[in-house]
Structure 1
Amino acid sequence: MMELYLPVVWALIIAAAVAFYVVADGFDLGLGILFPFTKEEAERDQMMNSVAPFWDGNETWLVLGGGGLWVAFPKAYAVIMPAVYLPVIVMLLALIFRGVSFEFRWVAKPTHFWWDVAFCGGSTVAAFAQGVILGALIQGIAVADGRFAGGPFDWATPFALLCGLGVVAGYALLGAVWLIAKTEGPVADRARAQGKTLLIVVLGFVGLVSLWTPLGFSRIAERWFSLPNLYFLWPVPILTAGLGLLVWRGIDRGRDLAPFLGVVALFLLAFLGLAISTFPYLVPPTLTIWDTAAAPASQIFLLVGVVFLLPMIFAYNVFVYWTFRGKVRPGEGYH
């Protein structure tokens, strides 16, 4: 019985960690993507100060998601990593550049131009690489005898590149609505204009991916359009359009927190749609969570640690976000 439910528990833990990472680290990567559109030094400082207390803790969820995949589903890890090795390496290097530049630009002033370039470039490249990895997983990985059977550039397809651009746009939208919620003055005003444009772009990417996946991959078309699945899944695109309208109205009416919450809900709904398209396959279209799971004893041993660590991670995040609640005004900061 444990062989049946333990992989499901671990799949939910990893999915939650990935979702938290996408939302939490997405908005500070989004700030880097939006950096070139802000020329004033004081406004760039205000943007970075809005995430200064949070950005490094946000990456905790990436460690939990990647580590959880390695320990709970080692066979999936052994197949996925060779398939997307290059974009994973690019993503990690870009995150390092982003992190180092975040700290060094403050101490390098006034000669910190290249640290700004590294912050923007690292954020954009990391977002694009994450989207490419996502696209590679959705389109499927070649597997033979439980091992990766493809080439080093199987991930480099038009669909994966489209997903990469979509994630860049999505993170930029998260960054814009974060600035609406956390800043005042010209930065927030600019973010409102950017948020409207980016919302249209992101919904366009969502529509393209939603059309491409069932047309390009028969297993996904069968999942969404066969009966009785269609009866239960048709509200998902309707809810997506409704959330897009609510975000637009929230930005247009001068709301602060509502657009951010709406975009977070939009991301979570898109994540749910991807889960519906692929579950229970962890390595689409061949290996399920049960095919790739570690021994039950290993899963239980590690689950005990997670049971104790997860509340600590949540408590830390709640404490930090509560402590640094409120808006960052021009000239203010935590650095």
Structure 2
Amino acid sequence: MDVTVVWAAIIALGLFLYVVLDGFDLGIGIVFPFFPDERERDLMMNTVAPVWDGNETWLVLGGASLFAVFPVVYSTVLSALYLPLVFMLMCLIFRGVSFEIRAKAKRTKPMWDLAFIGGSTGAAFFQGIALGAFLQGIPVENGQFAGDAFGWLTPFSLLTGLGLVATYALLGACWLVAKTEGDLQRRLHRVVWPLTLVLLAFIAMVSVWTPLQDPNMAARWFDSGLFYRLLPAPFLVAVCAVVMYRAVHGQHHTTPFLIALTLVLLGYAGLLVSLWPYAIPSTLTVWEAAAPRSSQTFTLAGAAVILPIILGYTILGYWVFRGKVRHGDAHYH
């Protein structure tokens, strides 16, 4: 068994679950400005109140796993992306504080609404910037970051930052469609299709720009036969768009969220296929960046215990709080 590949799969799964689970509750904050009514905002926050903090467990797991198994990637990526990651954490802190205080605030409630909106949007934006900077490649010499402090700030990373904001906004709107009813749900349906179109535009732009900004990535796409293996992806994205259009106009409840998840999965799978087998694009493979096999095996034993626990309480939390959220239900405290 190749332990390095197993660990790469675990980290990839953890990051995907973070994007999906924390993505839709960040997305709620991003779509907040479209719904200024205070009671509706209370209801929207109550849809994720029992589970939002547990969603961030996957971010912690990914960071800890990277530190333990791919220490070169951990040190290099943190050095290269220190500023956007710090900004992201600051936004998550503001957002978390607003979650705790907003439910109890009276006079200052609008201020905490702004903190929730800004924290959610900022966290998504800086995550996207970090992704774009990572895809562009990180200069490494002698196992250390060899770039400058603002190398992450490029037009491509700004594009991916805005693209992730659009992705999370769509996930959040679709989650709210599944969890609400009545007039609020109808107005949420009207938001979903424009957000889908925006996301599709970002998918197209990033798909075209990615090989153009990296010759090594372009060679991998077009010279290795990978391009032909990825050809079904645009077709599947188009199918998802058609199904989403019908689901929105048919006022479906859960189908939009499932389609949004499928779009995220397709984009994530394409990203992984494009990067493999590199841990740092065009610089280090996963095997070159990995810790000694003994360290990987030791930590894998711990992961075999902790992963089922995290998955178990995540599934249990969503199962217990399944169904619609209505005005008058217990509020978050």
The 3-state SS of whatever aligns with 1:282 is strand
Partner residue of 2:178 out of 177, 181, 184 = 181
**TM-score normalised to structure 1 length:** 0.97
Alignment match of 1:278 (pick from 275, 278, 290): 275
CA distance in 1, matches of 2:221, 2:255: 30
Of 317, 326, 332, the residue aligned with 2:323 is: 326
Unpaired segments of 5 or more residues in structure 2? none
Aligned positions, number? 332
- 4+ residue segments displaced more than 3 Å: none
CA shift, 1:226, in A, is 2.6
Q: Does 1:312 align with 2:276?
A: no
Residue 279 of structure 2: SS of its match in structure 1? strand
> How far apart, CA to CA, are the structure 2 residues paired with 1:217 and 1:23?
27
Q: What amino acid is aligned across from residue 24 of structure 1 in structure 2? A: L
SS in 1 for 2:251: coil
Matches within 5 A, 1:116-135: 116-135=113-132
Q: Show the counterpart of 1:86.
A: 83
SS in 2 for 1:152: coil
Pick the aligned partner of 2:235 from 230, 238, 245: 238
In structure 1, the partner of 2:250 is 253
Once the two structures are overlaid, the 10-residue window that deviates more, 224-233 or 37-46, is 224-233
Aligned residue type for 1:15: A
Q: 2:89 is aligned with what amino acid?
A: L
Deviations 1:11-59, CA, capped at 9 Å, x for gaps: 1000000000000000110011111111111000000001111101100
CA RMSD of aligned residues (A): 1.2
Letter in structure 2 aligned against 1:211: V
Q: Which residue of 2 aligns with 1:113?
A: 110
Mapped partners of 1:244, 1:11: distance in 2: 31
The reply to whether residue 289 of structure 1 matches residue 286 of structure 2 is yes
| Contiguous gaps of at least 5 residues in structure 1 | none
- Corresponding residue for 1:99? 96
Is the CA contact (8 Å cut-off) linking 1:132 and 1:163 kept in structure 2? yes
Query: Equivalent residue for 2:29?
Result: 32
Quick check: 1:46–1:333 contact (8 Å CA) kept in 2?
no
- Tell me, in whole angstroms, the C-alpha distance in 2 between the residues paired with 1:216 and 1:30: 29
1:186 Cα shift?
A: 2.7
CA shift for structure 1 position 230: 3.1
Give the C-alpha shift of residue 334 in structure 1: 4.0
Counterpart of 1:9 (choices 6, 9, 13) is 6
Deviates more, 1:220-229 or 1:176-185: 220-229
Q: Does the residue aligned with 1:107 lie in a helix, a strand or coil?
A: coil
User: 1:185–1:329: 8 Å Cα contact kept in structure 2?
Assistant: no
List per-residue Cα deviations over 1:113-134 (Å, max 9, x = no partner).
Answer: 1111111100000000000000
**Equivalent AA in structure 2 for residue 292 of structure 1:** A
1:240-286 Cα offsets, whole Å, 9 max, x none, are 12112212221111111111011001101100111111111111120
Following TM superposition, by how much is the alpha carbon of 1:185 offset from its aligned partner in structure 2, in angstroms? 2.3
Question: In 2, are the aligned partners of 1:42 and 1:331 still within 8 Å (CA)?
Answer: no
Distance 1:104 1:334 in 2: 13
Post-superposition CA distance 1:51-72 (Å, at most 9, x none):
1111011001101111111111
Q: Tell me, what secondary structure is at the counterpart of 2:291?
A: coil
* Residue 308 (structure 1) shift: 0.8
Give the alignment of 1:158-173 within 5 angstroms.
Answer: 158-173=155-170
Letter in 2 for 1:280: P
Q: Deviations over 1:275-322 (max 9, x none)?
A: 111111111120111111111111111111110111111110111111
Which SS does the other structure have where 1:137 is aligned?
A: helix
Contact 1:184 1:330 in 2 (8 A): no
Percent sequence identity is 52
Question: Which residue of 62, 65, 80 maps to 1:65?
Answer: 62
Residues 186, 251 of structure 2: 8 Å contact kept: no
Contact 2:98 2:116 in 1 (8 A): yes
Q: TM-score, normalised by structure 2?
A: 0.97
Are 1:214 and 2:211 counterparts? Answer: yes
Q: Give secondary structure in 1 for the equivalent of 2:175.
A: helix
Asked whether 1:46 is paired with 2:43, we answer: yes
Map of 1:149 onto structure 2: 146
Is the contact between residue 248 and residue 256 of structure 2 (CA under 8 Å) also seen in structure 1? yes
- The yes-or-no answer on 1:300 pairing with 2:306 is no
